Amino acid sequence: MIKKGLSFLTATGEETGTELFESKNPSNLKDIVGVFASATPKQVETACKKAKETFKSWKKVPAPVRAGIIQNFGRLLESNKEALSRTVTREMGKPIREARGDVQEAIDTCNFFVSEGRRLYGMTIPSEMPNKELYTYRRPIGVFACITAGNFPVAVPSWYFIPALIAGNTCVWKPSGDTPLTSYYFTQLLYKAGLPDGVFNVVFGHGSKSTGEWLVNAVDKGLVDKFGFTGSTEVGRAIGEVCGRNLQNPCLELGGKNPMVVMEDADLELAATGALWSGFGTAGQRCTSLGNLILHQSIREKFLKILMEKVSKIKIGDPTSEDVTYGPMISEKFLSDHLKNLKTLIEPHQRILTEPNGQITGKNKWKNFVGDPDAGVFAFPTIIDNVKPGDKIYTTETFGPLFNIMVCKNLEEAIELANGTGYGLSSAIYTETPQYIYQWKEDIFAGMTSINNSTTGAEAHLPFGGNGKSGNGSRQSGVWVIDQFTKWQAVNWDLSGKLQLAQMETAYVEPDLKYTI
């Protein structure tokens, strides 16, 4: 049992500082999950230096052996799945069913990447010169530093660190200040799997003017060779600037204003179920959550009737309950931001389809609430109708149980609305028309799209990431992510015993140009 007042240590064994912060259960704020210590600037630097020193030996460990440690990690995640899932639910409020999925995503990622330890392939290439061999090799990049968010505290770190470690990189992690206990257990399981000391280093704390900022500063100091970040577009831009001036290509997985289109021939029951899950799963606190629901004008009224009927029946509340649609906001800050959005983004011409709105309390209670609303930070589901392309809420990521309704006349207009926010993470369309599907796949700007499914739902072997304000084109998961954590080395080995000059001394055969037929 974690007790109040307990200060945690980094994976390197150093105490992380004297400035303490609490991790609270958002469904019961009186439940203090743990008290953690923020790393000082010096300790962040020490963690990076230790990772850089350990890289010298870790990169020489055979890749199949590194992958074997990840296989052990996956088995440990399996044997601790329920305990870790309940820690996720307690610490950030995700319903237990979703929390199990969060942990399972990490298990799936381990299972997928284990074999990549035996497939870090290079190539042998024929030379144009005799007695000369050409090769290519994948080499690890070096120290990988990463800052992750608290909405997927097990799955997302696994997307980064499992391929990074298998490729031979060492790591420094600043996990979310909202989920430090989950991150602590994640790290302990990695080391119990057999990871050598210093390969994986954790520094707790927050972002601006805290541990996160100091970790970003380590790039300019030459202590970090690759950076990963999951979070807001604004912070991602700042990290991208730092990495850019150091000629580094970061992994940036940023925000979204994800569109879902429902065409006139769609299965409306299925589409309404998908919209409900996309918009309100995890209380809308996913980067892939539904932002703009774009309805064909011919089915608008019928669809909204079906949708509102489904919304009226959802259960909200205690995330340990197996059948709640969503639980609390991740923290008091996330609730505060959501309430601010309700005050500042809604315009007079728009119409709120859901009542009441704002914070759920004992006096202002959702009729299907499970538990005590006054104990935690819960919010009503909110649907905003009559949103137009020029509205601020159309292009603002709200990161809460809120989404917009828009109308289109045809698929061309739907695609224009879907692409017009500047974000390009996830998307979805509901239709039975092959021509619509083909055009949608061709013209949607988002890095990911679903046909007759929701905007959420990553799988461990499919590339995850976005374009535009949603990221810099980097991708997580699947075999493609190996390119993020390795660099190519070209080797030519000349066994001729003399200097051979390619292009200048190559013995190309000349054709007999005088021959005619």
Number of domains in the chain: 2
Question: How far apart (Å, rounded) are the C-alpha atoms in residues 178 and 356?
Answer: 28
Same domain? For 217 and 108 the reply is yes
- Type and span of the H or E element at 21: strand 20-25
- Kindly report the three-state secondary structure assignment for every residue of 473-497: CCCECCHHHHHHHEEEEEEEEECCC
Same domain? For 201 and 318 the reply is no
Question: How far apart (Å, rounded) are the C-alpha atoms in residues 71 and 107?
Answer: 9
Same domain? For 83 and 103 the reply is yes
Q: How far is CA 55 from CA 45, 368, 461, 514, in A?
A: 15, 53, 27, 61
Same domain? For 71 and 191 the reply is yes
Same domain? For 228 and 373 the reply is no
Does 417 map to a domain? yes
Asked whether the bond before 373 is cis by omega within 30 degrees of 0, the reply is no
Find the Cα–Cα–Cα–Cα dihedral 123, 127, 130, 134, rounded to 10°: -40
Residue corresponding to tokens 């020029």: 390
Task: Say if residue 57's pLDDT is above 70.
Answer: yes
Task: Say if residue 5's pLDDT is above 60.
Answer: no
Tokens standing for residue 428: 């979805």
Q: One-letter amino acid identity for 428?
A: A
* 504 — pLDDT class (breaks 50, 70, 90): very high
**Least confident range of 139-148, 291-300, 353-362, 504-513:** 504-513
Q: How far is CA 228 from CA 55, 260, 265, 435, in A?
A: 18, 28, 41, 38
Q: What is the CATH number of the domain that holds 192?
A: 3.40.605.10
Query: DSSP readout, 419-454?
Result: HTTSEES--EEE-S-HHHHHHHHHH--SS--EESS-
Task: Say if residue 8's pLDDT is above 50.
Answer: no
- Contact of 146 with 157, CB cutoff 8 Å: yes
More confidently predicted of 121 and 3: 121
pLDDT in tens, 462-499: 999 999 999 999 999 989 999 999 999 999 999 999 99
Question: How far apart (Å, rounded) are the C-alpha atoms in residues 490 and 269?
Answer: 55
Does 384 map to a domain? yes
Task: Say if residue 460's pLDDT is above 90.
Answer: no
Does 516 map to a domain? no
Same domain? For 163 and 310 the reply is no
Of 485, 472, 458, which is closest to residue 162 (Cα–Cα)? 485
Same domain? For 250 and 316 the reply is no
Please give the pLDDT value at position 448: 96
Same domain? For 433 and 476 the reply is no
Task: Say if residue 15's pLDDT is above 80.
Answer: no
pLDDT in tens, 124-183: 999 999 999 999 999 999 999 999 999 999 999 999 999 999 999 999 999 999 999 999
* 458 — pLDDT class (breaks 50, 70, 90): confident
By residue range, what is the domain housing residue 273?
Answer: 258-459
> What whole-number percentage of the chain has pLDDT above 70?
97
Does 238 map to a domain? yes
Does 416 map to a domain? yes
Question: Angle between the 411-419 and 434-443 helix axes, to the nearest 10 degrees?
Answer: 30
Please give the pLDDT value at position 265: 97
Same domain? For 189 and 303 the reply is no
Question: How far apart (Å, rounded) are the C-alpha atoms in residues 199 and 196?
Answer: 6
Does 29 map to a domain? no
More confidently predicted of 8 and 475: 475
* 211 — pLDDT class (breaks 50, 70, 90): very high
pLDDT in tens, 282-332: 999 999 999 999 999 999 999 999 999 999 999 999 999 999 999 999 999
Same domain? For 268 and 380 the reply is yes
More confidently predicted of 188 and 208: 188
pLDDT in tens, 371-391: 999 999 999 999 999 999 999
Rounded to two decimals, what is the model's pTM? 0.94
Same domain? For 331 and 403 the reply is yes
Output Rg (C-alpha) for the chain, integer angstroms.
26
Does 13 map to a domain? no
Q: What is the CATH number of the domain that holds 359?
A: 3.40.309.10
> Would you please indicate which residues are annotated as catalytic (active-site) residues?
253, 287
Q: How many Cα atoms sit within 13 Å of 196 on the Cβ side?
A: 18
As a whole number, mean pLDDT of residues 86-111 equals: 98
Return the beta strands (E) in 327-394 as ranges: 351-352, 359-360, 369-370, 378-379, 382-385
Does 34 map to a domain? no
Residues in a beta bridge with 296? 408
Residues in a beta bridge with 147? 174, 229
Same domain? For 274 and 302 the reply is yes
Please give the pLDDT value at position 3: 35
Of 67, 13, 2, 68, which is closest to residue 35 (Cα–Cα)? 2
Task: Say if residue 457's pLDDT is above 90.
Answer: no
